[in-house]
Amino acid sequence: MKKIISKIFLGEYFIIVLFGLLLLFSCYFHFSFGSIIAKNFWLFFTEMITFLPFMFLLIGIIDVWFPKEKVERHIGPESGIKGIFWVIVLAMLQAGPLYGAFPVAYLLWKKGCSIRNIFIYLGAFSTLKIPMLTFEIGFLGLKFSILRTLFTLPVFILIAKIMEIYFKNKQFDIKQP
């Protein structure tokens, strides 16, 4: 029993327990922010629970269907502009929130994708998804979307190149989940 209590209040569950207690406290005393927080938490939680299983299924299919040699050849360290093109296309064709890009980025890294192309993929995923571009064109116009893309894409490529140079001689390892 002492182990459980110390784990709850001193360990990894402290923030979760504190969050729950604050929600109960605010609901009991009828604070409006508590019900708003609970409602938003439930909306985000249901979105994540409905999105993540499909994302992990997609990752499993990609992991099985695409051999490491093919990934290294097309988007690996020696891929050049062709690799940049392919990761941008991959990022544009996906949908979903940004947290869905990180498992794909991990899979690409595991399959031999260059660190430069990983950073380009994450940048392109956050700004160039086709569903997002259609909304942007509808609300802000085609000219704005083209100009924003022409400004942001070179910035992502430059940042990715800087990160590649920074990580080149570093011995880092991505831990297995």
Give the DSSP letter string of 12-50: TTHHHHHHHHHHHHHHHTT-HHHHHHHHHHHHHHHHHHH
pLDDT value for 173: 67
HSE-CB at 53 with a 13 A cutoff on CA atoms is 5
| Burial zone of 58 (CB within 10 Å; 0-12 exposed, 13-18 middle, 19+ buried) | middle
Segment 119-173, tens digit of pLDDT: 999 999 999 988 888 889 999 999 999 999 999 999 999 999 999 998 887 776 6
State the Cα–Cα distance between residues 132 and 129, nearest whole angstrom.
Answer: 5
Segment 26-84, tens digit of pLDDT: 878 877 877 788 788 888 888 888 878 887 888 888 788 888 888 888 888 888 899 99
Q: Model's pTM, two decimal places?
A: 0.73
